[in-house]
Structure 1
Amino acid sequence: MSSFEVIGGRPIKGEITPQGAKNEALQVICATLLTKETVIIDNLPDILDVKNLIHLVSDLGVETQKLSDRKYSFRAQNINLDYLKTREFKKRAAALRGSIMIMGPLLARFKKAFFPKPGGDKIGRRRLDTHFYGFEKLGASFDFDSEEFFYTVHADKLKGAYMLLDEASVTGTANIIMTAVLTPGTTTIYNAACEPYVQQLCKMLNSMGARINGIGSNLLTIEGVSELNGCEHRILSDIIEIGSFIGLAAMTGGEITIKEANTEHLGVIPLAFRRMGIEMEIRNNEIYIPPNQRYTIETFIDGSIMTISDAPWPGLTPDLLSVFLVVATQANGSVLIHQKMFESRLFFVDKLIDMGARIILCDPHRATVIGLNHETPLKGSIMTSPDIRAGVALLIAALSAKGKSIIHNIEQIDRGYEHIDKRLRTLGAEIKRI
């Protein structure tokens, strides 16, 4: 197990380009299973979750070829469904939650799929009901082996249908879309997730010959086709990493320019940071964060404490709330962070409290942060990363803190952030892998 050793208190400075979007990458890799033809995907991030998914689909029979550092070709001509029943597949797939999205393409193309209960971040209950509700509406049946923790989905025949999703699940929506594009008839998905990742998946599928209307809205209409072609697709920059860099610059008093920021796809993220008092300039497709900011959190019009909370897109993504929380520890003012979706994602705040942050954990979903106004720096500490997003929040805290910090279990950070230590060193951060 590796760790980061961080010497904090150094403002970062320079230019940085975000990696490709992790969440989009997992969806579009799974979508390559929908066709026998070659699919080329560019700007894939070099992170553990993506590499593990590429290995998994390769073992399933997909011919994969690395064309350059971030560019791969996929050809799913000969799929071995028997591999899905092996102990090796169960172990690999259970460790990677995003691989649940192979079920939709396999069900659409082969009328059956198998999958273990997925793992991933330990951030609370993450149910799969939306996925299976969509499969059932299209005519599939599923069984769950409670002893093996193994799902089986099968259908003699699929048919398009109307469905109203109980929640706007991103992976659930993606799975249903990938099933519906090869399902005869018209499928209407209401309350669909409409994150940029889902929009990108739909655009890629349409370039392969799918017929998806309503892209960017929560109402999708899909006319099933008999087969899909190959395509070339480029992944967007990762908006979670962009938000992480904004927070890191503000916390350390740094000055950075974020290149290729896909600013038209950031939604309310810039507004949310401005409510925290953080200044930024959006210059075409770049974001500039000026140095030495002493940011003051806004209040609501009636003077009540600001609340930063997650919501389905175009609301604020829950993946950035950990970053907002740690940024607030050095703000002037107070803020209530309300994590609505996951009940365990705020449990890392005890580590920030040990570093000197003033935080009241109200309950599993809410934390009140009383900012230190950059008057008292956080102090270095020894801590363990519980999940990807909390891990990078702790890394931001360590880089702003006075003294040395050690962060263990950084494999969690590596799952979502590409060579983060090397890239931060180019900005002047003192960080090394031990």
Structure 2
Amino acid sequence: MGTFKIEGGHQLKGSIQPQGAKNEALQILCAVLLTPELVTINNIPDIIDVNKLINLLIKLGVKVEKISKGSYTFQADEVDLDYLESDAFKVDGRGLRGSIMIVGPLLARFGKGYIPKPGGDKIGRRRLDTHFEGLINLGAKFKYSKEDQFYGVEAEYLTGTYMLLEEASVTGTANIVMAAVLARGITTIYNAACEPYLQQLCKMLNRMGAKISGVGSNMLIIEGVETLGGTEHRMLPDMIEIGSWIGLAAMTKSELTISNVSWNDLGVIPSVFRKLGITVEKQGDDIHIPAHTNGYEIQSYIDGSILTISDAPWPGFTPDLLSIILVVATQARGSVLIHQKMFESRLFFVDKLIDMGAKIILCDPHRATVIGHDFKSTLKATTMTSPDIRAGVSLLIAALSAKGTSTIQNIEQIDRGYENIDERLRAIGAKIERVE
């Protein structure tokens, strides 16, 4: 297991380029299974979760060729369906959460899709019901082996229908969309997720010959087609990484420029950081964060009551950034209530911040009140373990702002979502060392 050693308390300076979006990549890579033709994808992040999915596609028989850094071609013209029922697949498919999204494309094109219970962050319950209920609505027969937790759906063909999703699941919507594009007739998905990454998937599928309307709204109408062709696609920059760098700049009182952020796809992210008192400047398609030498002050509501920051489906605030917001609030002027609605285990990392000297009251599994230090008392270095991707980066930001040398263990969790993070941070002045 790898470890980061971080010497905190140093100001950073310079420019940092966000990687391609992890959550978009997991959807887009599964979509290559929908066509036997060549698909070229650019700006793919070099991270553990994405590389695991690429390796899974290779084992499925997809021809994968690396053109250059972040650019690959994929051709699924000789898919090995026998692999889906092998013991090896039952192991490989458990390695990451995103593997669930191969089911929809395989079902639509080949009439069957299987998956073992997928892994991922241990942040609370993450149901698969939306995925399979949507596929059942399209005419698939569902099978489940409780003994080895193996799921399957089969159908001679899929038939378009109307469905109202009980939750606006991003991966669930993606799976259903990828199945519906090859179904017979028209599918209407109401309460569909409408995140930019889901919009990217729909736009890519339309370029491949799909007929999807309502892209960007919570009602998607899909007219099924017989086949899809090849295309070329480029990933958006990762909005979670962009938010992480905003928080890093504020906590370390650093002047940073985040390059090529695709402002139009950031939603409320800049305004939520501004509510914490952080100056987020738009410079073309870049974000500039000036050095907050005098700190930053949390806004109150107009009636003077304490600010609450909570997560919600898009266009609400993404739950993946609440951990960053919480850490940044520990050095703000004022107090804030963090309400994590979607996952009941995601705030449990706050005990590590309390050990570092943060003033945090964990009200219950979903809510934490943070009383900021206003930099009058710095966080203290400590040894900690990364519990999941986003909490891991939040602890890394805390360590970079803390006094002394901190150690973060289990950094494979961070590597799952952030590309060469130690090298990129050193390039802007961070004192961080990777110890294997």
TM-score range for the pair, normalised by the shorter chain length: over 0.9
1:71-128, CA deviations, whole angstroms, 9 ceiling, x for partnerless residues?
0000000111111122221112112000100000000001111110111100010000
Matched, 1:233 2:241: no
CA–CA separation in structure 2 for the residues paired with 1:424 and 1:38: 36
CA–CA separation in structure 2 for the residues paired with 1:354 and 1:51: 34
What is the match of residue 349 of structure 1?
Answer: 350
1:200-239 to structure 2, matched below 5 A, reads: 200-239=200-239
1:424 CA displacement: 0.2
1:311-330 to structure 2, matched below 5 A, reads: 311-330=312-331
Matched, 1:428 2:405: no
Matched, 1:419 2:414: no
CA–CA separation in structure 1 for the residues paired with 2:418 and 2:112: 33
CA–CA separation in structure 2 for the residues paired with 1:289 and 1:73: 36
CA–CA separation in structure 2 for the residues paired with 1:370 and 1:64: 50
TM-score (norm 1): 0.99
CA–CA separation in structure 2 for the residues paired with 1:320 and 1:88: 35
SS at match of 1:391: helix
What is the match of residue 94 of structure 1?
Answer: 94
1:136 CA displacement: 0.8
What is the match of residue 186 of structure 1?
Answer: 186
SS at match of 1:157: coil
1:292 CA displacement: 2.6
1:170-185 to structure 2, matched below 5 A, reads: 170-185=170-185
1:156 CA displacement: 2.2
CA–CA separation in structure 1 for the residues paired with 2:291 and 2:263: 21
Q: Which runs of 5+ in 1 are unaligned?
A: none
1:296-307 to structure 2, matched below 5 A, reads: 296-307=297-308
SS at match of 2:188: strand
1:37-71, CA deviations, whole angstroms, 9 ceiling, x for partnerless residues?
00000000000011110000000000000000100
What is the match of residue 2 of structure 1?
Answer: 2
SS at match of 2:4: strand
Percentage of pairs with the same residue: 66
CA–CA separation in structure 2 for the residues paired with 1:202 and 1:272: 27
CA–CA separation in structure 2 for the residues paired with 1:117 and 1:397: 33
Matched, 1:364 2:365: yes
Q: Which runs of 5+ in 2 are unaligned?
A: none
CA–CA separation in structure 2 for the residues paired with 1:209 and 1:12: 47
1:157 CA displacement: 2.4
Opposite residue 321 of structure 2, the aligned amino acid is L
1:289 CA displacement: 0.1
What is the match of residue 285 of structure 2?
Answer: 285
Single out whichever of 356-365 and 86-95 deviates more from structure 2: 86-95
1:326-353, CA deviations, whole angstroms, 9 ceiling, x for partnerless residues?
0000000000000000000000000000
CA–CA separation in structure 1 for the residues paired with 2:156 and 2:362: 50
1:22 CA displacement: 0.2
CA–CA separation in structure 2 for the residues paired with 1:216 and 1:203: 10
What is the match of residue 410 of structure 2?
Answer: 409
SS at match of 1:74: strand
Opposite residue 278 of structure 2, the aligned amino acid is I
Opposite residue 133 of structure 2, the aligned amino acid is Y
- Corresponding residue pairs, total: 434
SS at match of 1:18: coil
SS at match of 1:396: helix
What is the match of residue 32 of structure 2?
Answer: 32
TM-score (norm 2): 0.99
What is the match of residue 334 of structure 1?
Answer: 335
1:210-261, CA deviations, whole angstroms, 9 ceiling, x for partnerless residues?
0000011000000000000000000000000000000000000000001011
